[in-house]
Structure formats: C-alpha cells, structure tokens
C-alpha cells in the first residue's frame, strides 16, 4: 500500500490564483480530512469527509473548497489564494470515525506571494 | 473548543536518559488520543493510539498513559537515542476530529 499520498510537494502561487491540492489513499478508508500547519501552532482542521459524497467544515474552512466523489480521493481547492494561506497542508485518513487511528500524508508546502 | 497544551515546548537530554512528555486537554469527552512524531519538513508518523477506555498503551520503548477524567496524557520514552530527536504531538479525538497541541521538540545529545 502507498498509504496517503499528496501532490504536489511544493507549490508557489501568486495572490488571487487558484489551485487544487491532491490527496489519495489506497487503504479503503471512509474518513479523510485536511489540516494546515503553521509555525508555532498546532495543526488545524480545514475540512473533512466521512464518506463519498459527504463533506463538512472544520475549524478554518474559509477560502477552501472540497468534494469527495470517490472513496480514494479528497482534493482541496484554493479558490483565490491569499498570503495568509501560506502553510503546510496535510491530508489524513482513517478506516472509520471515532475509534480508529489516523494516517497522514507527507504534506504540501504552499507559498502565496 | 478543545484546547491542547504540551509541556515542555522543548527538551534537550543526553543519550540514555528517559523522556517524559506531557499533554493536557480541556474537553474530557474524547474517543481516543494519538501520539505522533514529526521530523523536520516531514509528515506525521503515528506512534501510539490509546482508546478512551484504556489507561495505557505500550510499543517497544514507548509508553503512553491516559487519564481522561483529568484531561491528561503522558508519553514516556525509555533510554533515549539520538534518533528520537523530533517533535512529538498529541492529538485527542472527538467527533471525528483530532485537536493538536503545538508539540514538544526533543533533542537527544550523543
């Protein structure tokens, strides 16, 4: 199993550009989520999905969109990039909800100039 | 909103010393708690998952305890090695969501 994969590893955007961060998992996990990590702060939840076709907002959803059309993929879209979205983005997945271990991808480092 | 605090923020010890990393959280209504390791510029590696019904969980040199009612978890690392140098994160889970502290950065000196 490849586990949780994320592309790209690095990205530089100009303010106002849009892009999609890709996340895929090959473990048949129902639950997937996106976090951002900023220096000196804990990871913060952006959006999550409990299964194909079901998504919900986390702690910091503004400026981001998600959809979940398949079990394997959970892309994160930045609609109009802002410097405040400069961060490291992590995707995670788990087999189920409450009692299961979460597995994280390697991250995407995004810089918005 | 769950608040997670990890103390100390940084720790430097000589090789062979035992490590004690503390985590406290404000909402005791959790389903489980995970401890992660993060190396610089890398993703998170899961170390231990401790369910809310458990008091402790062990894996090799690692032992995690959980006192849900008081909102505390402790990660013990026995006989530390330079390869243990990393940032350690604790994350209680409630309602599908993990909440993270800022982590404890550990340096083990050879």
The torsion angles phi and psi of A41, rounded to 5 degrees, stand at -120, 155
Q: How far B7 CA lies from chain A's nearest CA (Å)?
A: 13
For A30, residues 6+ apart whose C-beta sits below 8 A from its C-beta are A50, A51, A71, A94, A95, A96, A97
- Express each pLDDT in B7-52 by its tens digit: 999 999 999 999 999 999 999 999 899 999 999 989 999 999 999 9
Do strands B97-98 and B32-38 pair parallel, antiparallel, or not at all (unpaired)?
A: unpaired
Share of chain A above pLDDT 90, in %: 88
The two three-digit tokens of residue A10, written as one number: 């690095």
Share of chain B above pLDDT 90, in %: 93
User: Mean pLDDT, to the nearest integer, of A29-48?
Assistant: 93
* C-beta atoms of B96 and A31 within 8 A: yes
Please tell me whether residue B84 adopts helix, strand or coil conformation. Answer: helix
Per-residue confidence (pLDDT) for residue B46, from 0 to 100: 95
DSSP element (H, E) containing A111: strand A108-112
User: What's the rounded Cα separation, in Å, for the pair A90 and A34?
Assistant: 6
- Residues from chain A that touch B57, judged by Cβ atoms under 8 A, are none
User: Mean pLDDT, to the nearest integer, of A23-48?
Assistant: 94
Per-residue confidence (pLDDT) for residue B15, from 0 to 100: 98
Nearest CA in chain B to A47: B97
Q: What angle do CA A14, A57, A31 make, to 5 degrees?
A: 105
The b/e string for B37-60 (b: 16+ C-beta within 10 A; e otherwise) is bbeeeebbeebbbbebeeeebeee
| Dihedral angle sign, alpha carbons of residues A48, A50, A56, A57 | negative
Per-residue confidence (pLDDT) for residue B97, from 0 to 100: 87
Cross-chain CB nearest to A45 (options B44, B97, B103): B97
Peptide bond into B13 cis (omega under 30): no
């Amino acid at each position: 199993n490849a586990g949780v994969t994320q592309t790209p590893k690095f990205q530089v955007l100009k303010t106002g550009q849009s892009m999609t961060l890709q996340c895929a998992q090959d473990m048949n996990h129902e639950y997937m989520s996106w976090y951002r990590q900023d220096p000196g702060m804990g990871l913060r939840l952006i959006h999550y999905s409990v299964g194909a076709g079901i998504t919900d907002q986390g702690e910091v959803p503004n400026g981001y969109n998600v959809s979940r059309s398949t079990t394997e993929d959970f892309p994160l879209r930045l609609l109009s990039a802002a410097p405040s979205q400069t961060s490291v983005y992590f995707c995670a997945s788990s087999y189920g909800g409450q009692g299961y271990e979460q597995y994280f991808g390697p991250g995407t480092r995004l810089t918005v100039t | 909103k769950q608040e997670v605090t990890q103390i100390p923020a940084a720790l430097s010890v000589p090789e062979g010393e035992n490590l004690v990393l503390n985590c406290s959280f404000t909402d005791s209504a959790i389903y489980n708690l995970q401890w992660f390791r993060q190396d610089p510029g890398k993703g998170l590696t899961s170390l231990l998952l401790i369910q809310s019904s458990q008091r402790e969980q062990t894996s090799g040199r690692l032992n995690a305890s959980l006192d849900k009612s008081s909102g505390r978890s402790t990660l013990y690392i026995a006989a530390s090695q330079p390869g243990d140098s990393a940032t350690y994160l604790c994350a209680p889970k409630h309602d599908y969501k993990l909440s993270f502290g800022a982590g404890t950065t550990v340096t083990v000196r050879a």
